[in-house]
Amino acid sequence: MSEADLHGLIEDTPAMLPLAGSPRLAVVGREVNCGRERADLLAVEVETGRPVVIEIKLASNTDRRKSLTQVLGYAAYLRRLDANGLNTILRSYLDERGYGSIANAAKSAAEADPSFDEERFQTLFDDALTEGRLRAVIVLDEAPDDLVDLVGYLQDMTSDRLELDLVVVTAYEVSGQRILVPQLIEPDRSQLTAELAGTSKPAPATEIVRGSDAFAETIASAPAGQQAVLRRLLEWARELERDQLATLYTSIGKVRWVLNPRLPGQTRGMISIWNDKGPYISPYRTVFEQEAPTTLAKLDSMAPNEIGRGNYIKVAYDDDLLAILREAYTEARDSRA
């Protein structure tokens, strides 16, 4: 697949990008003029109005590291624009697709969602530009380790106004058909406490506390339909601690909270449980490989390509999954014994 093909695929189906929080995206521009260079794709988050700049690099581009400087440059350029200025830059693209404005494109992406309010979106969009809140996404076919580490450093050091995501798209041949599998890549922060992974906040903005009570208090902030799952995950983690399989810590951020069941005597865990407007389980493959390789094989069978380097598990968070995850912590304890 060429870069142009992948551009078109993401443009038509932006939901294929596995971004934190699973935002709905409305693509509002392609090859967008951002000063001296052009951003591959520009989108907005339907729920928050936040602009999203997307840069795509495949194997034909020998230096994938350049994608990072490019996407940051695009973000810096967009930071200087107001809503009218950005609408002007995107006017040709919007007109071609019959959108009167960026807000109108977002309404179309909302797919007749009765909760979508175009005026409210416009206010959120204006505020995001005024405050400089942006999401930058880099899409690669392979991520060099030094690039992953650099992205991780920037995620930790930048303010909560910039969300930086790294996605790797892998191609597989299945029954004569080419299947693309995108994964959200997160740097291995297991030595720095895994629950900080992907928060895109500086250290002072995140407080880490012992226990799970602080996480429990945040469940009421999640959508009503998601609270039962969060409570089930919380109880599962507390059972681990009661059985001395894990020690619980909570990372408290401004808009998201993470419960990390650490391995006893270690500063890392095999998963983190997120409350990011709903429940997410983020695995750490390197820890599974070192501490519970037998259980990892079962997880790979249950959730193919989902036990990656900090991406989110997408299979149902049911008793079967939780039983296997508990088995991983048990295997880690038994192997140390």
Condensed to tens digits (0 to 9), the pLDDT of residues 295-332 reads 999 998 998 878 865 568 989 999 999 999 999 999 99
**What's at 53, amino acid-wise?**
V
**Number of domains observed in the structure of the chain:** 2
Q: What is the pLDDT of residues 31-50, one digit of tens each?
A: 999 888 899 999 999 999 99
126, 149, 184: which is the final residue of a domain? 184
CA-nearest of 56, 68, 65, 42 to 6 is 56
What are the pLDDT digits (tens) for 107-138? 999 887 888 898 999 999 988 888 888 999 99
Tokens of 49: 């109005």
Q: How many angstroms separate the CA atoms of 236 and 23, rounded?
A: 27
Residue 306 confidence (pLDDT) = 81
**Max alpha carbon distance in the chain (Å)?**
66
Which pTM does this prediction carry? Answer: 0.56
Residue 176 has pLDDT above 80, yes or no: no
Give the whole-angstrom CA distance, residue 76 versus residue 196: 25
**Nearest-5° Cα angle at 179, 4 to 31:** 20
Question: 249 and 149, same structural domain?
Answer: no
Q: Are 164 and 151 in contact (CB under 8 A)?
A: yes
Q: Is the domain of 10 the same as that of 115?
A: yes
Written as one string, the DSSP assignment of 199-220 is ----GGG-EEEESSHHHHHHGG
Residues 177 and 62 in one domain: yes
Q: In which domain, by residue range, is 162 found?
A: 3-184
The pLDDT of 62-87, averaged and rounded, is: 84
> Which of residues 184, 204, 221 is at a domain's end?
184
How would you label 209-230 residue by residue, b for 16+ Cβ within 10 Å and e otherwise?
A: eeebebbbebbeebeeeebebb
Residues 114 and 218 in one domain: no
Pair 163, 136: CB distance under 8 Å: yes
Length of the chain, in residues: 337
Highest average pLDDT, of 116-130, 169-183, 184-198, comes from 116-130
Q: Which two tokens stand for residue 222?
A: 């999640």
**299 vs 244: CA distance, rounded Å:** 22
Question: Backbone phi, then psi, for 157, in 5-degree steps?
Answer: -90, -25
